[in-house]
With several copies, the nearest count.
Chain A
């Protein structure tokens, strides 16, 4: 028995998993491990699945691997529907990266990033409404360039404004498995602060021009975060 105290004791048989030859499963785990370990960026689960022996459930394998690495210096983490190995955060005192500093965000950029994360999909006009100020040029640019924010689609309202959302890199960077893990998301939702609905129909005017597009108004399918409840049911987005 190893003094190093291997992680074997935390691994439990996954319920409901198909009964597969253990050697096949072991081989699958080795392949998954190698694929994710060899990559710096998160690896799509579907990509791993394609490379596993037939009949092996990728989700099952990944959950087992995650448990296997849970107490170790390197952890297997989920980033959306991707997987990545990352050093354990509590070891940050000893591990230092040679590559420069983590990107610093201006106060405004950070605020805009949070608003996009919690309210997505969200238009620029809505961001400005929440902040009560025009978004200066370059703020969104910085977030787009960092790869944390992306154009998601268009809102099905007059003018069809473009909506913004966060990316997989955003989740990866902030150590989030999924958007549900955003700190305080539930409380904010519970307090009605993410609904975008203001209790009365009155709005404080913004004196300067907001986004106004006069392009055509074909319906578009909106990517759904509805499941997350980040979208107001019924889609009254125009406050």
Chain B
């Protein structure tokens, strides 16, 4: 039942006058019977997939068996899961809704039951599929009309541009909005980069600690270490956090020793055994001489 390929643009009108390659992204929307290839990427969302499945029933959309359709969809999702295809949330939400619909269709509605009946839900689904298909057909008909610049042409050597506007200037709303959006965006992104420089990365912190290590013989407070880097108050928090995280790593490597006498007390550090032996860590210590 997954046999046919779905090529909506080729179903009708394929023998009509020079058909354009309608879509740029003429993706292969193949589903094979073997179930080994389930190409979810070929579908534009669950409704598109459902429409495809409905088309394989080869009947008028208003007479499809919604129940059969639901089962096909659920089977498809199940198969996709078995072969571990990552499904977008939409497909799973649709599956859940269809499973609910199925239960509604199978179990007779209780008199005091709230909400729409299974039949109403099925009708809704059929309507949406029909509407989507109608829009697909309309799109095909639209794009195959005679088009300006392809089938018919404007004056090649215009002699003037008529204008009713009192204004001597031309600009469209799109011009205006895109100018505004790109301007604001440009500045927003510049600001982001500035903020980024205010954040100390772990690598930065490590590099600074490396450079400072030579200067320290005995226990020194971490704050003291970083004093010269903390002229900017806004940097204080990030510098402390990153530096502390970096020290932990360096302690693990034996390059530092760390001591804190009590909660919220200053953190002290001094060179570790490794560093005293002059050993350099491999890996991240590559850019420590700037």
Binding site for B on A (CB under 8 A): 34-35, 37-41, 43-44, 46-47, 84-89, 91-92, 95-99, 101-111, 113-115, 117-118, 130-134, 142, 144-148, 150-151, 169, 172-176, 182-184, 188, 191, 193-195, 197-208
Contacts and interface: CB of A to CB of B under 8 A. Distances in A.
B259 to A, nearest CB: 39
Given A40-B154, A182-B138, A110 B176 contact: yes
A227 B137 CA distance: 25
Contact of A86 (B125, B152, B171): B152
B173 interface: yes
A86 B190 CA distance: 48
Contacts of B161: 39-41, 99, 102
Given A110-B175, A115-B135, 19 more contacts: A34-B153, A39-B159, A41-B161, A84-B154, A95-B153, A102-B148, A103-B170, A113-B142, A130-B128, A144-B174, A174-B145, A174-B171, A175-B173, A182-B138, A184-B137, A184-B141, A191-B134, A193-B177, A202-B184
Contact of B142 (A34, A114, A130): A114
28 contacts: A37-B153, A38-B153, A38-B156, A39-B155, A41-B157, A84-B154, A85-B154, A85-B155, A97-B149, A102-B147, A102-B161, A103-B169, A104-B170, A107-B25, A108-B25, A110-B22, A111-B180, A114-B180, A115-B180, A173-B147, A174-B147, A175-B145, A175-B147, A176-B173, A199-B120, A200-B124, A204-B124, A208-B90
Chain A interface, >50% SS class: loop
A135 B130 CA distance: 20
Contacts of B81: none
Interface of B: 21-26, 44-48, 89-90, 93-94, 97, 115-116, 120-121, 123-125, 127-128, 130-132, 134-139, 141-143, 145-185, 187-192
Contacts of B177: 114, 151, 182-183, 188, 191, 193
B18 to A, nearest CB: 9
A131 to B, nearest CB: 7
Contacts, number: 305
Contacts of B93: 205, 207
Given A106-B23, A194-B185, A199-B120, A111 B47 contact: no
